[in-house]
């Protein structure tokens, strides 16, 4: 992320170091990760020790030092979803995207991760994409769901052919 883009976010919060977590979340949303350069720049700009930013970036699930996908997929592995076949859905997603949980597709379009409960057990098994919940998921619905999020038709076809 360029310095100007970071600067816009910093100024949105009045350059107040108390709002640094909000800034990190905004940057994460735009960039899908927090680069080392970003943290170093913020640290100098706001006079917040780099240790503290690193602490936050590794503590909060919403923040990531590793690149995530433009569409971040979370498969709920909670008890209710688990007994209804969350493992099979995860497997199908891994197969379709040719990545393992915790990884990102080479084109950075999709990132895959598991969560332990999203709190909507009645809808289980649940998969959330970009914070949007897909309830009553099944392995056979995975492909259609991915297509909906694919940015271009070409990508949409590419998905699930591997």
Partner 1 sequence: MVHLVIDGKGFQAEEGQNVLEVALENGIEIPHLCYHEQLSPYGGCRLCLVEITRGARTFLSTSCTYPCLEGLVVRTDTPDVLRARRLVLELLMPLAPEAPRLQALARQMGVTETRFASDEEVDDCIRCGLCIRACAELVGAEAITFSGRGERRKVEPPFGEEALNCIGCGACVFLCPTGCLHMEDQDGVRTLDKWKRTLSLKACASCGRRYLPFAQIEFARQKGEDPPAEGWFEFCPDCR
Residues that bind partner 1 (CB under 8 A): 36, 39, 49-55, 58-59, 65
C-beta closer to partner 1: residue 12 or 55: 55
Burial of residue 16 (CB within 10 Å: 0-12, 13-18, 19+) is exposed
C-beta closer to partner 1: residue 103 or 127: 103
Please report how close the Cβ of residue 50 comes to partner 1 at its closest, in angstroms. Answer: 5
Helices 20-31, 36-46: axis angle to 10 degrees equals 150
Neighbours of 46 (CB within 10 A): 17
C-beta closer to partner 1: residue 49 or 106: 49
C-beta closer to partner 1: residue 51 or 152: 51
* Angle at 146 (CA atoms; ends 145, 148), nearest 5 degrees: 70
Please report how close the Cβ of residue 49 comes to partner 1 at its closest, in angstroms. Answer: 4
Please report how close the Cβ of residue 89 comes to partner 1 at its closest, in angstroms. Answer: 25
Identify which of 60, 73, 80, 75 has the alpha carbon closest to the alpha carbon of residue 115: 75
Q: Give the separation between CA 120 and CA 133, rounded to whole angstroms.
A: 9
Please report how close the Cβ of residue 54 comes to partner 1 at its closest, in angstroms. Answer: 4
């Amino acid at each position: 992320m360029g310095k100007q883009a970071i600067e816009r976010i910093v100024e949105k919060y009045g350059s107040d170091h108390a709002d640094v977590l909000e800034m990190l979340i905004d940057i994460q949303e735009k960039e899908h990760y927090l680069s080392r350069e970003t943290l170093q720049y913020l640290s100098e700009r706001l006079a917040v020790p780099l240790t503290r930013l690193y602490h936050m970036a590794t503590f909060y699930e919403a923040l990531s030092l590793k690149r995530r996908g433009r569409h971040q997929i979370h498969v709920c592995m909670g008890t209710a979803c688990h007994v209804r076949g969350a493992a099979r859905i995860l497997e199908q997603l891994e197969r379709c995207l040719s990545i393992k949980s915790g990884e990102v597709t080479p084109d950075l379009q999709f990132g895959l991760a598991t969560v332990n409960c999203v709190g909507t057990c009645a809808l289980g098994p649940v998969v959330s994409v970009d914070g949007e919940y897909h309830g009553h998921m099944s392995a056979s619905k995975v492909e259609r769901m991915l297509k909906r999020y694919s940015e271009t038709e070409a990508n949409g076809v590419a998905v699930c052919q591997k």
